[in-house]
Amino acid sequence: MDDDTNLSRAEAQGVRYARELEGHLQWLDTFSGAALGVLAVASGIYTYLGVSSLLDDDGALSVFAALAYSIAVSVGIFVFWSYLMRLLPAVRSAGSRLGLLGSMVLGSLAIIAMSSWLNAAALAGAAAVEQHLARTVQEYQGALERANTIAVSAQGLERDVARVRQSFEDLSEQEATGDLSGIAGRGAVFRILRQKSEELAGLETQIATQDALVSGAFTEGNEILSRMRALTVEPGPVEARSVEFSEEAVRLAGIITRLRQLSVAPLVARAAQDLSASVVLPRLDGSTPDTRAGQQATIDSVLTLLGQRADTLRAAAEAVIAMQPAPETTYTPISTADAVIRYAGNFIPSWAGAIAIDLLPAVLVFILMITQAAIRSGRDNVGMEQTMTLAELRAALAAVRDVEQALARDTPTARDQPPRPHPVSEAAE
């Protein structure tokens, strides 16, 4: 008897618990639809802004197209979540729940594809384009600095050329005094040394004239970079700034190309190759065979020295040529939607807000599922007649009396007999 009493008490508590939850749900239902509609409309507004940023034309047809798309998104979101909020908490079988949960996942992905990324474009599109401009400035700056580094390194070859030229001049002076070949004067050996020193002097002068050009190009490139940086943070529509930014980017690309062309390393490498390969040997002008033999021996030594100096100079030039070149950088204009997708990692809060406004009803669906499961658990072990409220019982008794009266009117034998009280009515009384 005690077990039955305890069981009945637990059942009664479960029924009261279920009725309490049902009361809360009835109150929440009074504004859930309106709240869902507000979320759908808000998502539609941001979708409209995102679609508008993708359309090039600002005419009435484009406005109508963007408006139609945003309205379709709002209606789709409202209907989709309305279906799930009603059906998913009501189904009981595991298969039905899994099917509806799969439908919810598929519909959520569709909502993200047709709405959320456009919402993110509306929320952070301008900032994403500015991020793209800033990233492009960094790329151009790296390319400019690299091209200038290579050009300056090539200008440093002037010291190597000057050192080789000076060595040949010193040797020619020694030959003039007779300290080199033992024969004083300006003979064949002297003319060879002077020929090569003059070639190197011309190359040295040509390299020196490049200093001002390299410095001027680098200074102009930095000025363009400064204007490009200013455009990334200036107030105003980002589309207008992007146009001016593109013009400056074209100019800067020309400066970087000019710096590449100003590198004298290939010229020095060719000059070093010609240093020993193109030697005009003069006629030996010694008066005796021994003198001519001495001149020839000295010329052979000079040619060997030329080859060594040429190899050294060519190695220095090739080291500059082997330096990693400046990367090819080209500015590509980008729309706000594409910028948000490309730089999504930098705008996680905006993406989270754009997705949350579309998928927040999923949380409400899960809340309703949990609540409906709790209501069913409170009523599972209790019969329907035990869960009826007083108002429901009175309505049921009234319905029974109406049925009995209808039957009494239709039965001839029952018209002369007084109506019998219903056992349920007696119990209620």
Secondary structure of 1-51 as H, E, C letters:
CHHHHHHHHHHHHHHHHHHHHHHHHHHHHHHHHHHHHHHHHHHHHHHHHHH
In the chain, % of residues over pLDDT 90: 14
92 pLDDT band, cuts 50/70/90, is: confident
pLDDT (tens digit, 9 = 90+) per residue, 271-330? Answer: 777 766 555 455 555 555 665 565 556 666 666 767 777 778 888 888 888 888 888 888
Residue 182: left if φ>0, alpha if ψ -120 to 50, beta else—which one?
left
pLDDT band at 124 (very low <50, low <70, confident <90, very high): confident
Does pLDDT of 106 surpass 90?
yes
- Residues 6-33, mean pLDDT to the nearest whole number: 72
CA nearest to 242, candidates 123, 412, 368, 126: 126
Residue 288 is given by DSSP the state S
Domain 127-335, CATH 2.40.128 — does that match?
no
Tell whether the model's pLDDT for residue 142 goes beyond 70.
yes
* Mean pLDDT, rounded, for 374-386: 62
**167 pLDDT higher than 70:** yes
State residue 13's pLDDT score.
65
pLDDT at 166: 80
The whole-number pLDDT of residue 95 equals 87
Q: What is the pLDDT of residue 2?
A: 43
At 17 the pLDDT is 67
CA distance 417 to 421: 12
In the predicted structure, residue 411 carries a pLDDT above the cut 80: no
What integer best gives the mean pLDDT of the chain?
Answer: 78
Per-residue confidence band for 57, with pLDDT thresholds at 50, 70 and 90: low
pTM of this structure: 0.66
- What is the percentage of the chain residues whose pLDDT exceeds 70? 76
Q: How far apart are CA 304 and CA 310, in angstroms?
A: 10
pLDDT for position 3: 42
Phi, psi of 381 (to 5 degrees): -95, 15
Q: Has residue 90 got a pLDDT over 80?
A: yes
Average pLDDT over residues 247-271: 87
pLDDT of residue 81: 93
Determine the Cα angle at 140 with ends 135 and 144, to 5°: 150
CA 189/CA 130 separation, integer angstroms: 67
Mean pLDDT of 250-260: 90
Quick check: 238 pLDDT over 50? Answer: yes
Supply 250's token pair.
Answer: 């074209």
- What pLDDT shows up at residue 144? 92
Query: How large is the average pLDDT for residues 222-230?
Result: 91
Q: What is the pLDDT of residue 71?
A: 92
Whether pLDDT at 393 is above 70:
no
Rounded mean pLDDT, 392-407: 75
pLDDT at 251: 92
Model pLDDT, residue 280:
47
139 vs 298, higher pLDDT: 139
Least confident of 26-35, 155-164, 401-410: 401-410
Residues with Cβ within 8 Å of residue 384, at least 6 apart in sequence: none
Euclidean distance between CA atoms 217 and 136, whole angstroms: 20
Q: How confident is the model at residue 429 (pLDDT cuts 50, 70, 90)?
A: very low
pLDDT score, position 41? 92
Q: What's the angle, vertex CA 377, arms to CA 372 and CA 383, rounded to 5?
A: 110
Residue-level pLDDT at 121? 82
Greater pLDDT, 219 or 191: 219
Q: Exposed, middle or buried: residue 81 (CB in 10 Å: 0-12, 13-18, 19+)?
A: buried
Highest mean pLDDT among 53-57, 58-62, 128-132, 182-186: 128-132
Is residue 6 pLDDT above 60, yes or no? no
User: What's the CA gap between 274 and 19, in Å, rounded?
Assistant: 102
User: What is the per-residue pLDDT for 289?
Assistant: 65
- Tokens (6 digits) for 402: 């109406």
Whether the per-residue pLDDT at 197 is higher than 90: the answer is no
